[in-house]
Amino acid sequence: MTEKPIMINGFPRSGTTYLSRYLEWLYGRVVYEPLATPKGTIKRIPELAKWFSYYHPYLTDPSVNTTLWFFHNEETLRKFMEGLRGYPIKETTLHRFLGKDWIKEHWDVYHIIRDPVSVYHSFKNLFHSGTTYGKYLRIGEKLGIIAKLLQPLDPLAKMAKVYSVIRNIPRPSSLQGWFLMVWTFSNIEAIEAVGEDKLIIYNKEESFYKLPRFTEFIKNNPLRIRVYDDTKLENLFLKIAREHGFEREYSRLLDLFE
């Protein structure tokens, strides 16, 4: 086992929950999505409740926008993460910060990536389980152009707007486009931070064996990889990336699944 606890980050619906069970098996506890779902962490590790009440970015810093998942206030985030040192972590919003010294010095960082078509469909399937981003994706598909009315409410639209400014490229006008832009650039940022040697590819079981003692864990915790086949959506995603100036980055990620 590594001296530093493991941190696993990944875009939502990319296999991070399965790996949170691995972390809990390996260490006996896990800080589960401290930024995305803090209540889940407090439920699992009650002693962190006081720290969260004083230092959680969403609760203490008015500049932190909870609908901009990946764009945390860096200084506030750094202070918050100080209280989580020594704990293994599973998170879905730290893509932009994985390369920071104040993370890499205290955690052995891995990132997991899943193909965009499967992630998109997984979001949609969540629609039946509650009020999640799946509802935006399904409504958007059914309403077509009227989905633009959802733009002020949709976090994906807001994050795509930020990425379009940072990358100086046009922002897509559809929910599929917003999703794809955020998926592409957040994963690019994460991979550039951790390197491909610490990259786990959801679609390739062999890549999971980079994790310490994973061969023991998988014996009683089988890995069920689900890949969605949707040629129409694949073609649409490629068209969106080409028309909005990020085909190179998108293709680089697709090559990982070959």
Q: What digits encode the pLDDT tens for the residues 108-158? A: 999 999 999 999 988 877 754 445 556 666 666 666 555 555 555 578 888
pLDDT the model gives residue 154: 73
- At residue 201, the 3 state secondary structure works out as strand
Q: Are residues 140 and 55 in the same domain?
A: no
Share above pLDDT 70 across residues of the chain, in percent, rounded to a whole number:
88
In angstroms, rounded to a whole number, what is the distance separating the alpha carbons of residues 225 and 32? 21
Q: Are residues 149 and 28 in the same domain?
A: no
Does 78 map to a domain? Answer: yes
Q: Are residues 103 and 121 in the same domain?
A: no
Q: Are residues 90 and 159 in the same domain?
A: no
Q: What is the CATH number of the domain that holds 48?
A: 3.40.50
Q: Are residues 203 and 108 in the same domain?
A: yes
Does 131 map to a domain? Answer: yes
Q: Is 245 exposed, middle or buried (0-12, 13-18, 19+ CB in 10 A)?
A: middle
Q: Are residues 132 and 74 in the same domain?
A: no
Q: Are residues 90 and 23 in the same domain?
A: yes
**Tally of structural domains, the chain:** 2
**Overall pTM > 0.85:** yes
Does 204 map to a domain? Answer: yes
pLDDT the model gives residue 155: 80
Does 189 map to a domain? Answer: no
Q: Are residues 212 and 240 in the same domain?
A: no
Provide the residue count of the chain: 258
Q: Are residues 161 and 129 in the same domain?
A: yes
Banded pLDDT at 77 (limits 50, 70, 90)? very high
Does 190 map to a domain? Answer: no
Q: Are residues 47 and 74 in the same domain?
A: yes
- Domain range enclosing 204: 6-114+195-220
Beta carbons of 90 and 29 less than 8 angstroms apart: no
In angstroms, rounded to a whole number, what is the distance separating the alpha carbons of residues 246 and 63? 29
Q: Are residues 68 and 101 in the same domain?
A: yes
Does 188 map to a domain? Answer: no
In angstroms, rounded to a whole number, what is the distance separating the alpha carbons of residues 95 and 189? 6
pLDDT in tens, 18-35: 999 999 999 999 999 999
Q: Are residues 122 and 242 in the same domain?
A: yes
Share above pLDDT 90 across residues of the chain, in percent, rounded to a whole number:
71
pLDDT in tens, 155-214: 888 899 999 999 999 999 888 899 999 999 999 999 999 999 999 999 999 999 999 999
Q: Which long-range contacts (CB under 8 A, 24 or more apart) does 139-142 make?
A: 140/174, 140/175, 140/176, 141/175, 141/176
